[in-house]
Structure 1
Amino acid sequence: MEDAVQGVPAADRLARLVQRAAAAGPALPCAVVHPVDAAALAGALEAAAAGLIRPVLVGPRGRIDAAAAGAGLDLAGLAIEDVPHSHAAAERAVALVREGGAAALLKGSLHTDELMAAVVAREAGLRTERRISHCFILDVPRYHKPLVVTDAAINIEPDLETKADIARNAIDLCHALGIARPKLAVLAAVEVVTPKQPATIDAAALSKMADRGQIEGGEVDGPLAFDNAISAEAAAAKHLRSVVAGDPDILLVPDLTSGNMLAKQLQYLAGAESAGVVVGARVPIALTSRAEGARARLASCAVMKLAAGMRLTRHGPG
């Protein structure tokens, strides 16, 4: 993931991801769900122009055309699936995946809950044996490599079994991003195991599950407080011996509230740029906030394409 890419500054990790994804085979057929504002349409068009996706716009044709006209965007040659409203758009986009017409989903101008309700529907959705989870991929200026924070958007108060799937999903995503053996820190408020803080018990269990082969493909350690997870100096000061401390690729948070706060603090206070993707479903889903800009949308599509490529390599189509 840190290999040099011609024409891109070494420190611009998101741009390097975009270039790597663009070079990774043909554009990904992608259902863009309810893109009825300028930002959602522009994001899809930019990702298409970069060679990341081949978009199918799913939503009310009249609103899509009006948004494009208002923003001066050209939709010529793009497939449009005309449905009456956002709920129908989410259901039709998921159906396109099941029919083989799309290999990924890109969130447009609808609420995350509405899209995910169609994704997790028991009969018509995109469930797998894994629990679905979300990953922020963050380029933090003061950290030496990209950092994945999970889960900060889907699972509100995950239990141990759910956290194990969150860990597996994040490790698989890191493999898709080119990290052969990612290091995962399971966060808590302290680095010692205490029954007074259940997050520390879950963290210790996840670490032992990795030791016993129940979580594969990476190094897992916890509980680790944020300081000694991120800083080798802080870990040394507390006499921690860990292959993860000071060098994690993944931060697994105790719950959605703490994870969402952490990711947004890194964005708004530390100047981190981000991408966001949902993993663990039959296809990856690029999921960005309406407050995020064009670079975040483009980087999310890049991560989505790389994740889809890894899934096809392992499981084949469907």
Structure 2
Amino acid sequence: MLLENKVFEDLAIGDREELRRLCTLDDLIVFANVSGNHNPMHLADHDGDGDGIPEALCPGMFVGSLISAVLGNVLPGAGTLYRSQQFDFLGRASAGDELISSVEVIAKDAATGCVTLKTEVRQARDDSVILRGEAVVEAPKVRIHSDVADLPGLIVQRHRHFDALLDRAAPLPALRTAVACPEDANSLGGALLARDHTLIDPIFVGDAARIRATAQDMGADLTGIEVIDIPDHARAATRAVALVNEGRADALMKGHLHTDQLLRPAIDRATGLRGGRRFTHVFVMDVPGLAHPLLVTDAAINIAPDLKTKVDIVQNAIDVAHAIGIEVPKVGVLSAVETVNPDIPSSIDAALLSKMAERGQITGGIVDGPLAMDNAVDMAAARTKGIVSPVAGQADILVVPGLDAGNMLAKQLTYISHAEAAGVVMGARVPIILNSRADDDMSRLASCAVAALHHHRVSGKVSGQGSAK
């Protein structure tokens, strides 16, 4: 943004300027952190006056600060310094309101080089005045042309997409879930937290003495939860799978045992949970600053998938995207390059997957590749490279070449970009909730929410088909 100021001599009585600003929830969080004012009246997820409704009102001084933006950027502009500011607050603004802040020169003092300005903030929707006042400033002494394009940006670490997932899953019936070996505080606590949020209705399978001792150490109540005592992890996992086959559970959840111990009985051809596709893992990630959830697959199960496996990886991820509310997911198939290179197998697979989607062999989404990471998620990068695609720059799903790349990408997003990650295994007859020991409460809740939403979508289709016959 190029700024050009006005020095004292340039200013005339009646000079007027204004700026518009859409106030967002993120603005309120940033202001709370910067100012130290954590009044719950100004935070979207809190009820500040006890009426049961979150207010998300813009703080008065945040609204007032919009005046300083006009003074410092436009009139008089760069070099302006405050002497005084008086405000009368005549109304309120909330997150989502567009505000117009304006200043008008009403007096000049040549002896001091100061200028007095009438200040005002109005609601854009009806032009009502919510703030009125008067500012005295020292006008700039030197004409300045300033470019602030390089001003560092801010990203709020707020996980709104997972909040929306939990809201979406809240009305659903609790998902009957067999939890294998919830014998430590993380796994047991996650399962109990999901139960308290009515996301799952758990059955615990594992070492009953350890489960109860862990619950006692946590001060947790197991009343009403069935606990099946099987101390051996392999046998406990087998029994958890059997609960699904018996119709007593509609999902499987990993506790304090190795992933392969849980999946081994699930993939058994005779007694497992095979559903016609390969088992594949999908991360649903809430990345701060990204306008939509991002799915990454496969980052946990298939080490070096061939083309046939990648078809299942893509289709399973599309199904998850549908379950969480993405109607037509855009699938970017990643490679190191965005053109087909015979020496890079992943670029060939990506091109074939794209063509297979065009021919109806993969359904429910738009698939394109090969795409490099930058032009899959960044529109400017895609435009710079001349890529014309409905997926490039706006992918909802990233399909990685292999487990190494997927695992690295997911962990980079988690530990460097501060993303939250929910993990589910698809391809089985029921969703398998696959949590990591390092997952926090939000990740565990979101994993359960994804599983519940998927089960509800699939079971709804089945029941609908049955009623139509």
**TM-score, normalization: structure 2?**
0.65
* Identity between Structure 1 and Structure 2 (%): 54
Structure 1 partner of 2:28: none
Distance 1:190-1:7 versus aligned 2 partners, 3 A rule? farther
CA contact (8 A) 2:335 2:370 kept: yes
Counterpart Cα distance in 2 of 1:294 and 1:38: 12
| Alpha-carbon distance, 1:233 to partner | 0.5
Structure 1 partner of 2:409: 262
Match of 1:32 among 162, 179, 188: 179
- Deviation by residue 1:110-131 (Cα, 9 ceiling, x = unmatched): 0111101111111111001111
CA contact (8 A) 1:33 1:59 kept: yes
Distance 1:272-1:8 versus aligned 2 partners, 3 A rule? farther
| Alpha-carbon distance, 1:314 to partner | 2.9
Structure 2 partner of 1:61: 208
| Alpha-carbon distance, 1:11 to partner | 5.5
Q: What amino acid is the match of 1:222?
A: G
Structure 2 partner of 1:17: 165
Distance 1:103-1:75 versus aligned 2 partners, 3 A rule? same
CA contact (8 A) 1:47 1:301 kept: yes
Q: What amino acid is the match of 1:164?
A: V
| Aligned Cα root-mean-square deviation (Å) | 1.8
Match of 1:283 among 430, 450, 469: 430
- Deviation by residue 1:288-311 (Cα, 9 ceiling, x = unmatched): 110111111111101110011122
Match of 1:85 among 232, 242, 254: 232
Match of 2:331 among 181, 184, 190: 184
Q: Report how many residues are paired.
A: 313
Counterpart Cα distance in 2 of 1:153 and 1:108: 16
2:397 counterpart of 1:247: no
Counterpart Cα distance in 1 of 2:201 and 2:357: 38
| Alpha-carbon distance, 1:173 to partner | 0.7
Structure 2 partner of 1:140: 287
CA contact (8 A) 2:159 2:420 kept: no
Counterpart Cα distance in 2 of 1:315 and 1:184: 26
Structure 2 partner of 1:314: 461
2:383 counterpart of 1:236: yes
- Deviation by residue 1:106-160 (Cα, 9 ceiling, x = unmatched): 1100011110111111111100111110111111113211000000001110000
Matches within 5 A, 1:99-110: 99-110=246-257
Counterpart Cα distance in 2 of 1:216 and 1:248: 16
Distance 1:100-1:316 versus aligned 2 partners, 3 A rule? farther
Structure 1 partner of 2:341: 194
Counterpart Cα distance in 2 of 1:215 and 1:125: 25
Counterpart Cα distance in 1 of 2:298 and 2:199: 25
| Alpha-carbon distance, 1:36 to partner | 0.5
Match of 2:322 among 165, 172, 175: 175
| Alpha-carbon distance, 1:65 to partner | 0.9
Distance 1:64-1:260 versus aligned 2 partners, 3 A rule? same
Counterpart Cα distance in 1 of 2:365 and 2:358: 10
Structure 2 partner of 1:294: 441
Counterpart of 1:31 in 2: which secondary structure?
strand
Counterpart Cα distance in 2 of 1:295 and 1:89: 26
Q: What amino acid is the match of 1:237?
A: T
Distance 1:7-1:58 versus aligned 2 partners, 3 A rule? farther
- Deviation by residue 1:19-50 (Cα, 9 ceiling, x = unmatched): 21111x21111011100011111111111111
CA contact (8 A) 1:57 1:80 kept: yes
Q: What amino acid is the match of 1:310?
A: R
Counterpart Cα distance in 1 of 2:375 and 2:410: 17
Structure 1 partner of 2:82: none
Counterpart Cα distance in 1 of 2:377 and 2:275: 32
Which has a greater percent of helix?
1
Which has a greater percent of strand?
2
286-295 vs 93-102, greater mean Cα deviation: 286-295
CA contact (8 A) 1:135 1:170 kept: yes
Counterpart Cα distance in 2 of 1:254 and 1:75: 43
| Alpha-carbon distance, 1:102 to partner | 0.2
Structure 2 partner of 1:119: 266
CA contact (8 A) 1:30 1:102 kept: yes
- Deviation by residue 1:77-111 (Cα, 9 ceiling, x = unmatched): 11111112111111000000000000001110001
Counterpart Cα distance in 2 of 1:52 and 1:13: 17
| Alpha-carbon distance, 1:8 to partner | 11
Counterpart Cα distance in 2 of 1:259 and 1:314: 31
Counterpart Cα distance in 2 of 1:101 and 1:14: 28
Counterpart Cα distance in 2 of 1:51 and 1:250: 28
Distance 1:33-1:274 versus aligned 2 partners, 3 A rule? same
Distance 1:214-1:260 versus aligned 2 partners, 3 A rule? same
| Bigger Rg, which one | 2
Distance 1:8-1:125 versus aligned 2 partners, 3 A rule? farther
Counterpart Cα distance in 1 of 2:450 and 2:229: 27
Counterpart of 2:205 in 1: which secondary structure?
strand
For structure 2, the 5+ residue unaligned runs are 1-43, 46-52, 57-157, 465-469
Counterpart Cα distance in 2 of 1:106 and 1:8: 37
